[in-house]
Amino acid sequence: AAKCIKGDRKAPYTIGWANIYSVPTWMKQTQGTIEAEVETLKKQGLVDKLVVTDAQGDANVQIQQIQSMIDSDVDAIILIAGSSTAPARVIADACAKGIAIINFDSLVDTDQVTAKVNTDSSQWGDQAAKFLIDAIGGKGKILILNGPAGVSVSDDRRKGADAELKAHPDVTVLAETNTPYNVAPAQEAVTSLLFANPEIDGILSLGGALSAGAVLALDKQGRDQVPITGENARQFLELWKEKGLKSWATMQPNWLGAFAAYTAVQALEGKDVPAFVKIPLPVIDNSNIDEYLARAKDFPADGYIYSPYDEELFKKLLAQK
Amino acid sequence: MAPLLAARGVSKSFFGNPVLRDVSIALQPGRVHALLGENGAGKSTLINLLSGALRPDGGTIEVDGRAVARMTPALARQAGIAVVQQELSLTASLSIAENIGLGAYPKRFGLVDYSALAARAKAACELVGLHEPLSTPVGQLPLGRRQMVEIAKALYRKPRVLILDEPTSSLSATETKILTDLLERLRSEGIAILYISHRLNEVMKLCHHVTVLKDGICTADRSLEGTDAAGLVRLMVGRDPGDLFPQWRPSPSPATAISVRDFSAGLMRDVDLDIRTGEVLGIGGLVGQGQEDLLLGLYGAIPARTASATVNGAPGLPGGVPRANALGLAYVPADRKREGLHLIHTITTNMMLPAFARLPALKLRSRRAERETARGLATQLGIKGDLARQAQALSGGNQQKVALAKWMPHDPLVLLLNDPTRGVDVETKREIYLMLRAFAAAGKAVVLLSSDTPELVHLCERVAVVREGRIAAMLERAALSEEAIVSAAMGAENRKVAA
Amino acid sequence: MTGWKDSAGGRRVMAILSSRPFLTVAIVAAVWIAASFASRGFGAYGHLRYLVELGAVIGLVAAGQTFVVIAGGIDLSVAAIVTVSAISLPLLSWQADPTGLAPVLAVLALTTIIGLVNGLGVALLRVHPMIMTLAMATFLQGLLIIIAGGSAVTAENPLVHWLGNARPAGIPAGVLLWVAVSMIVLTVMHATPFGARIFAMGANPLAAALSGVPVTSTTLAVYGISGFTSGLAGVLVLGMNGQGYVGIGDPYLLASIAAVVLGGTSILGGLGTYAGTIPGAILLVTITALITVVNASPGWRSILFGSLILGLLLLSGREQARR
Amino acid sequence: MSTVSSARPAGALYWPVQARRNIGVRSLFLVVLAFLIAYGFLFPGLFSASGFAKFTQSWFPLALVAMAQAILMLTGGISLAIGPTVSLGAVIAATTMAGPLGVTGGAAAVALTGLGIGAATGFIVVRLRLPAIVVTLAGSFIIGGAALLILPRPGGAIPEWLSDLLAGDTPTAFVLLVAIVLLWKLYLATPLGLSLYAAGENPVGAYRSGVPVDAARVAAYAISGLLSTGAGLFVAAQTGSGDPVIGAAFTLNSIAAAVLGGIGFLGGQGTMRGALAGSLLLSLMISVMFFLGFTPVAQYVAQGLIIIGAVAIPQFRKVQ
Ligand SMILES: Nc1ncnc2c1ncn2[C@@H]1O[C@H](COP(=O)(O)OP(=O)(O)OP(=O)(O)O)[C@@H](O)[C@H]1O
Ligand SMILES: Nc1ncnc2c1ncn2[C@@H]1O[C@H](COP(=O)(O)OP(=O)(O)OP(=O)(O)O)[C@@H](O)[C@H]1O
Ligand SMILES: [Mg+2]
Ligand SMILES: [Mg+2]
């Protein structure tokens, strides 16, 4: 059996979904995929209840809520961690109690989990840097936009870009900035940077809605658009099309949530699941952006257009070694 | 013999305005020294210099005949100087005992020694006749009792020099008696006492020596031997005084302004009361029997119930302050700092507030008109000071005048006054009394809650004496005397009625 | 020679020169001049214009906040209200109204009502303003879960777009809006009885009530105003970003409070002016912009930001002693 | 012993004073008690040693920051830097304790940092007469920046035994909390501690009475800093590591807990027991709502209602 699993849990299972913050749109969409998956599993008689908590962004509250899940003896916990270190101990407790734990998106530095499910943040940064350096012809001046400081995901993505940047000494980093993964602060920061730096050849944006903010800033200041990296935020993809950008985007698929729920049940059912399921980073470029935009109306205006998924995909992902 | 505490030629100015000029004073052991002067003459400033709360611009402070380089509150305490400020230094959330010991707690192992504190605080309380449990938070005490705590706090420190700044202004007659007896005893034990008061009969009874300040200059420093009250006033104002109380004349054809039946509010229970136009109705009694709740209930500031009521012709109680104002009621609180004034705002703004409260919310203000109104009021009531300054820079008496003045432009039909002459100098008192009588003569009603019994006797048509939340006696003009009020307040009247 | 300082006019000039709003303006100017030497492009007209435009959003939120703080309260729900405004406006973009005014008015009505509910809690339930508005912010989070992402409509509102992007006579429409709001706010605050009541309530609520100030309705109005200006800020920020999102209002909570206090308004209530908040808001965006272009690690940038605020506060911020 | 009137022994002053201070927070106590009972009912495991241990562990850091905020508010101050100070405490603990300094050295470093930051803040606020709210707002960026410099991303480590001691299955946190409350009572029984109230409510009067007002206020800031970094140390132990932004939510929560507990903004109003009850309510609420099966939307709405209710209900009673 998989890690943390003890034989005495029987279907239908109760799944706890320890969300860190349910208000942001990305989280809402993710929750949507989890709920849809749970509905499916309910029909199969495998799940009877989904318990949802919302830590309101506070890692300490999340610990308390996971503790409550342990206390109420849920069968599985799926979680996005509010801190890459903080929940480690409570998760180890849960694991010791035989609760299946599937950690996705923001990961915890502990191996006391059934499985971790995520894309590779470091690869994220590396590929983004590759594209950008390519797009500006191997030399030039760039800005780097990154998510909040002190958080593992943004730090990993940034570190992932380091090797490429080092390998190209002709690429000068004019400035780096950290803001929340949101449009307004990114737009603000980039505008200031635009004034301070008359020549900019490219923008290495490491996620979320940062890219949309940067594009808006260039547009509003009447500057020519430059090559830029990004994620599958709907606003960014629409701007990309509208402005004819030279861009590349990847994504953190929202269906990681659905997949985590699926994996939890598989593990509880006695299947072996890999300790780490690496989700390949889907790439959006000019070749397939239209496919994404064609589905745009199914997604919230400030949401993320994620790639399609189904059980086949999940099975394939679980089967990989 | 060297004076225990003395000031030699001290001067002090605030923002360039001289408040004290070359003033000297010497406090001798075993003597009660009066410090007199009109509001704003500089009395409080002088004691602040003596006690180290303020530093003089020039001159020296001497303790036991030796000049002190730099007087501070800490040094003053070490030298055995204690100051009774008017409820200024108390902390509402601390208990009586904790307040009394504040800044000088007895210690054991570095901790406050609560048993020693209790014993010493109790002794101090007994001296001033405070019998509330020592654990009572001071915030729950009425003003007069707080004043007694403040005095007990000074005594707790076993002072050699005791300075009292208007200690009696919020005390009832009984409490005043306790205090004067106490001071007499302390004096005989060799303590030097500096006593500030605007109640001249107290000064006459108690004090032996007087220093008079006028506009920051010492105009007299002499023995009180052979001086009468009129002489004192002459020293203070520099001319012959008139009678303190105006001639009483019956007002014409009274009608009912306010009438309540079975009225209850706060401590007050089942009150039947008619307030007539053209009269000054006094409210007397020991402090804290519910008198204030009666006024506040009528004014709509605290919830009140009544069987039936009419207020200036309208049925029912106002139920809220704006409505009460609209019905022509105005209220002047006793605790001017907390309830009457906006200390951080200018005097002009303070005076205009009732107008702001009733004008249409978005009508444009006219600063010029406001300044003129304020200037008019200041002249009318003799308020000294730059009207564009914050109200907290005014001396206590002048603050009181501002609290009263702000209602004048609104020509209220009924004035509810809560101890309006507290801390007010004799001249101003006279002016206020004249105003009140004139007000009544103009066919309006005045309700005067006062702790100053002579005031009630000389000004009022009738006095309602309140005891334990009920009107214990309603004394008509013919029956008015200080003795009658005091005995009704103590419950003597009740027994007579019951018998 | 006693000099002109002692003449009446001279004294007034001195009073203005030493007032907090003026000091804050002077500091903003000094920071701008220093920054334009230190950092290329900082002094460019376009950049300053952009900073003022950013300041407009903070300034609008801080307008309501100034009223509330002067009245002796505080509004911790402004960020959530900005977000609610920016999120719900696209949901309302109905076709019938070609100008886009109707949905904007509807959203402003909504946010004003939210503010009024804050006021009700503070005035009638006597809940501490901090608790009431914090609880309101929590409520609104719940509301956002329900309404956010509920529809795929983008903000195709012409009025909103105009506000966020147009530059009549070279001046951003948002700045014009801010100027208009500022003039109204300053007038209401300093030239009407309503304004005087607010100052009185903040300085001494008990004395104000006993002087006949209608405390309940004034409190309601103050929080209503805060809801309204936050809603307006939400509309503006929506226009500037072309898209609302959850969290769009988050930066404005601390920023509005900081702008108010940097502008010299006492957090204890009763003293202050919006005239100080205006440069306070611009000062904040200026410092933020300055920090952005400094190339340092996040930790150092944060330290620099805090030190700058502290340093500027030392220049201007002595709190008046009060009893 | 002599007269009847002095029948109440003088030594019995301390307890009546304490009892009087409960009056303002009685209804909050009732609300908290109701929640505790509900919690015990929904989750009987609470009464086991480890259940109780976990429960106090999740409350403990919030209790400390509520105290840290309350002590400032009692002096008429406030801090917006509590959260970053907690983070700083956590990263210092996580970078020193498993290193050369060891647990003792690390704890000393944490304590000294807290005291130092607090005293410095207090000095700026008190001696330079700057408004506490902006000073601490600026301080929050400086302190938060320092935490990021020490630990740019979550990491570090706390010795396993310490984590187990503080946040294992034994109620050490509860014992610690009791000890801290006793220390607080002890401090309040010192002249300097008792002056807090006077210095907060009536600084001028207190000064004239000989209270070292400035010292009392600076000391309050120092103690507040110590409590905050202490909370950070505990969080680090609880999580076994450091996180430079772990404390972010504590700033607002500490204020909410203190105000909920009846601490006023003008200084001198309220009691520490109220602030503790406020923090307990905030913490309990989370678990109780979980066991009642609330959805996130319901959690937000209920949380708002509970907070308002806990403050408004006593008001209603007062009016009637
Ligand atoms: N801190 C201050 N700032 C400005 N002016 C002040 C200050 N303190 C006192 N004054 C002014 O100094 C004068 C003297 O004030 P002081 O309080 O000494 O008068 P007083 O004799 O005690 O009056 P009262 O009888 O009303 O108590 C007043 O005009 C007052 O306005
Ligand atoms: N703004 C101020 N700042 C500092 N000290 C002041 C200020 N205003 C007044 N004072 C000083 O404090 C003293 C005491 O103030 P307070 O208002 O109690 O006057 P007071 O005359 O003693 O009043 P009362 O007679 O009612 O006791 C004032 O007389 C003055 O010397
Ligand atoms: Mg005086
Ligand atoms: Mg006086």
pLDDT tens for D25-56 read 788 888 899 999 999 999 888 888 888 999 99
Q: Which of B322, B333, B349 sits opposite C212 (nearest CB)?
A: B322
- Residue A51 contacts D, CB cutoff 8 Å: yes
Ligand 2 and B166: CB distance under 6 A: yes
Q: Whose C-alpha lies nearest to ligand 2, atom 30? A: B45
Contact (Cβ atoms closer than 8 angstroms) between residue D212 and residue D121:
no
Per-residue pLDDT tens over the stretch B331-369: 999 888 888 899 999 999 999 999 999 899 999 999 999
Over residues C213-225, the mean pLDDT reads: 96
- In sequence order, what DSSP letters do the residues of A154-219 get, joined into one string? HHHHHHHHHHHHHH-TTEEEEEEEE--SSHHHHHHHHHHHHHH-S---EEEE-STTHHHHHHHHHH
D299 to chain A, closest Cα gap in Å: 8
Report which of D124, D147, D114 is spatially closest to residue D224, judged by C-alpha positions: D114
Best of D286, D292, D300, D307 to substitute, by most chain A Cβ atoms within 10 angstroms, is D286
Which pLDDT score, from 0 to 100, does residue A63 have?
93
Contact (Cβ atoms closer than 8 angstroms) between residue B423 and residue B397:
yes
Residue D19 lies in a domain: no
- Between residues C241 and C136, which one has the greater pLDDT? C136
In this structure, the number of other CB atoms found within 10 A of the CB of residue B495 comes to 10
Residue D244 lies in a domain: yes
Per-residue pLDDT tens over the stretch B30-89: 999 999 888 888 898 999 999 988 899 989 999 998 888 888 888 888 899 999 986 667
Residue D213 lies in a domain: yes
Atom of ligand 2 nearest to the CA of B400: 26
Peptide bond connecting A227 to the previous residue in cis, omega within 30 degrees of 0 = no
Burial of C261 per CB tally in 10 Å (0-12, 13-18, 19+)? buried
Taking the C-alpha atoms of residue B189 and residue B29, their distance in angstroms, rounded to an integer, is 9
Any idea of the CA torsion for A130, A134, A136, A142, to the nearest 10 degrees?
A: 10
Best mutation site among B45, B147, B341, B395 for ligand 2 pocket (most ligand atoms within 8 Å of CB): B395
List pocket residues of ligand 1, CB cut-off 6 Å: B 14-15, 19, 37, 39-45, 384-385, 393-398, 423, 425
DSSP class of residue A98 equals T
User: Which chains, if any, share at least 3 CB pairs under 8 A with chain C?
Assistant: A, B, D
- Between residues C105 and B488, which one has the greater pLDDT? C105
Provide the token pair at B389: 């300054």
Residue D7 lies in a domain: no
D175 to chain A, closest Cα gap in Å: 19
Ligand 2 and B17: CB distance under 6 A: no
Kindly report the length of chain C: 323
Residue D37 lies in a domain: no
* ipTM for this prediction: 0.88
B320 to chain C, closest Cα gap in Å: 8
Domain annotation for chain C: domains and CATH numbers: 42-322 (1.10.3470)
Residue D46 lies in a domain: no
Taking the C-alpha atoms of residue B438 and residue B442, their distance in angstroms, rounded to an integer, is 6
Is B499's pLDDT higher than 50? no
Taking the C-alpha atoms of residue C95 and residue C98, their distance in angstroms, rounded to an integer, is 7
Rg of the Cα atoms in chain D:
20
Taking the C-alpha atoms of residue B11 and residue B19, their distance in angstroms, rounded to an integer, is 7
Best of D55, D153, D281, D283 to substitute, by most chain A Cβ atoms within 10 angstroms, is D153
- Residue D294 contacts A, CB cutoff 8 Å: no
Ligand 2 and B385: CB distance under 6 A: no
Amino acid (1-letter code) at residue C96 = A
C76 interaction partners in chain D (CB closer than 8 Å): 252
Q: Are strands B81-84 and B107-108 parallel, antiparallel or unpaired?
A: unpaired
| Backbone angle region of A223, left / alpha / beta, with phi > 0 → left and psi within -120 to 50 → alpha | beta
Q: Which residues pair with A146 in a beta bridge?
A: A178
Residues with Cβ within 8 Å of residue A217, at least 6 apart in sequence:
A186, A187, A188, A190, A191, A194
Residues with Cβ within 8 Å of residue B389, at least 6 apart in sequence:
B346, B347
For chain A, where are the alpha helices, taking DSSP H only? 25-43, 59-71, 88-96, 121-135, 152-167, 183-196, 210-220, 234-243, 256-268, 289-294, 311-319
Three-state DSSP at B469 gives coil
Residues with Cβ within 8 Å of residue A207, at least 6 apart in sequence:
A124, A146, A147, A154, A157, A181, A230, A231, A252
C-alpha B166 to ligand 4 mean position (Å):
7
C-alpha B43 to ligand 2 mean position (Å):
10
Per-residue pLDDT tens over the stretch D135-181: 999 999 999 999 999 999 898 889 989 998 998 888 899 999 999 99
Taking the C-alpha atoms of residue C156 and residue C95, their distance in angstroms, rounded to an integer, is 10
For residue D117, what are the domain limits?
53-319
For chain C, where are the alpha helices, taking DSSP H only? 8-17, 20-38, 45-70, 78-92, 101-123, 129-147, 158-165, 173-191, 193-203, 205-210, 215-241, 252-262, 274-293, 298-316
Best of B47, B120, B135 to substitute, by most chain D Cβ atoms within 10 angstroms, is B135
Which pLDDT score, from 0 to 100, does residue C106 have?
94
Residues with Cβ within 8 Å of residue A176, at least 6 apart in sequence:
A143, A144, A145, A146, C295
- Residue A148 contacts D, CB cutoff 8 Å: yes
Atom of ligand 2 nearest to the CA of B392: 8
For B382-464, where are the alpha helices, taking DSSP H only? 396-405, 426-441, 453-459
Taking the C-alpha atoms of residue B4 and residue B32, their distance in angstroms, rounded to an integer, is 13
Amino acid (1-letter code) at residue D204 = V
Chains B and A share 3 or more Cβ pairs within 8 Å: no
Contact (Cβ atoms closer than 8 angstroms) between residue A87 and residue A63:
yes
CA atoms within 13 A on the CB side of A263: 35
Is D320's pLDDT higher than 50? no
Which pLDDT score, from 0 to 100, does residue B70 have?
87
Atom of ligand 2 nearest to the CA of B196: 25
Tell me how far apart the terminal alpha carbons of chain A are, to the nearest angstrom. 16
B430 to chain D, closest Cα gap in Å: 32
Report which of C283, C287, C314 is spatially closest to residue C302, judged by C-alpha positions: C287
Q: Which residues pair with B229 in a beta bridge?
A: none
Is D7's pLDDT higher than 60? no
Q: Whose C-alpha lies nearest to ligand 1, atom 25? A: B39
Over residues C189-212, the mean pLDDT reads: 95
C-alpha B399 to ligand 4 mean position (Å):
9
Q: Which of D61, D239, D244 sits opposite A150 (nearest CB)?
A: D244
- Residue A299 contacts C, CB cutoff 8 Å: yes
Report which of B434, B92, B60 is spatially closest to residue D20, judged by C-alpha positions: B92
Is B496's pLDDT higher than 60? no
Q: Cβ contact (<8 Å) for D142 and C307?
A: yes
Measured from the alpha carbon of residue B428, the closest ligand is: 1
Q: Cβ contact (<8 Å) for A196 and C42?
A: yes
Ligand 2 and B366: CB distance under 6 A: no
Contact (Cβ atoms closer than 8 angstroms) between residue C239 and residue A297:
no
Is C191's pLDDT higher than 90? yes
For B131-228, where are the alpha helices, taking DSSP H only? 143-156, 173-188, 200-206
User: Which chains, if any, share at least 3 CB pairs under 8 A with chain D?
Assistant: A, B, C
C-alpha B40 to ligand 3 mean position (Å):
7
Taking the C-alpha atoms of residue B110 and residue D198, their distance in angstroms, rounded to an integer, is 19
- Residue D162 contacts A, CB cutoff 8 Å: no
Residues with Cβ within 8 Å of residue B411, at least 6 apart in sequence:
none
User: Taken in order B90, B96, B98, B102, is the CA torsion positive or negative?
Assistant: positive
Residues with Cβ within 8 Å of residue C124, at least 6 apart in sequence:
C216
Q: How many domains does chain D contain in total? A: 1
Domain annotation for chain B: domains and CATH numbers: 5-237 (3.40.50.300), 256-490 (3.40.50.300)
Taking the C-alpha atoms of residue D85 and residue D117, their distance in angstroms, rounded to an integer, is 8
Which pLDDT score, from 0 to 100, does residue D9 have?
47
> Which domain CATH number covers D248?
1.10.3470
Pick the most confident of B312-316, C166-170, D233-237. D233-237
Taking the C-alpha atoms of residue C219 and residue C198, their distance in angstroms, rounded to an integer, is 8
Provide the token pair at C184: 């109204």
Per-residue pLDDT tens over the stretch D218-264: 999 999 999 999 999 999 999 888 999 999 999 999 999 998 888 88
By CA distance, what is D245's nearest residue in C?
Answer: C299
Is D319's pLDDT higher than 70? no
Q: Which of B112, B119, B133 sits opposite D189 (nearest CB)?
A: B112
Q: Cβ contact (<8 Å) for B94 and D197?
A: yes
Which pLDDT score, from 0 to 100, does residue A196 have?
86
Report which of A213, A245, A247 is spatially closest to residue A229, judged by C-alpha positions: A247
C-alpha C7: how far from chain center: 37
- Residue A19 contacts D, CB cutoff 8 Å: yes
Burial of B142 per CB tally in 10 Å (0-12, 13-18, 19+)? middle
Residues with Cβ within 8 Å of residue A313, at least 6 apart in sequence:
none
Report which of C86, C53, C54 is spatially closest to residue C245, judged by C-alpha positions: C86
Per-residue pLDDT tens over the stretch C38-80: 777 777 888 889 999 999 999 999 999 999 999 999 999 999 9
Contact (Cβ atoms closer than 8 angstroms) between residue B222 and residue B209:
yes
Residue D161 lies in a domain: yes
Provide the token pair at D115: 């005291």
Q: How far is CA C212 from CA B292, B318, B354, B410, C216, in A?
A: 18, 12, 6, 12, 11
D255 interaction partners in chain C (CB closer than 8 Å): 130
- Residue C267 contacts D, CB cutoff 8 Å: yes
Q: Whose C-alpha lies nearest to ligand 1, atom 16? A: B42
Contact (Cβ atoms closer than 8 angstroms) between residue B390 and residue B343:
yes
Global confidence as pTM: 0.89
Best mutation site among B57, B338, B392 for ligand 2 pocket (most ligand atoms within 8 Å of CB): B392
Task: Give the confidence band of B172 by pLDDT, cuts at 50, 70, 90.
Answer: confident
Three-state DSSP at D30 gives helix
Best mutation site among B86, B164, B399, B402 for ligand 2 pocket (most ligand atoms within 8 Å of CB): B86
Per-residue pLDDT of chain A (321 residues; tens, 9 = 90+): 678 888 788 889 999 999 999 888 889 899 999 999 999 999 999 999 999 999 988 999 999 999 999 999 999 999 999 998 999 999 999 999 999 999 999 999 889 999 999 999 999 999 999 999 999 999 999 999 999 988 888 999 999 999 999 999 999 999 899 999 889 999 999 998 988 888 899 999 998 789 999 999 999 888 999 999 999 999 899 999 999 999 999 999 999 999 999 999 999 998 889 999 999 999 999 999 999 999 988 888 888 999 999 999 999 999 876
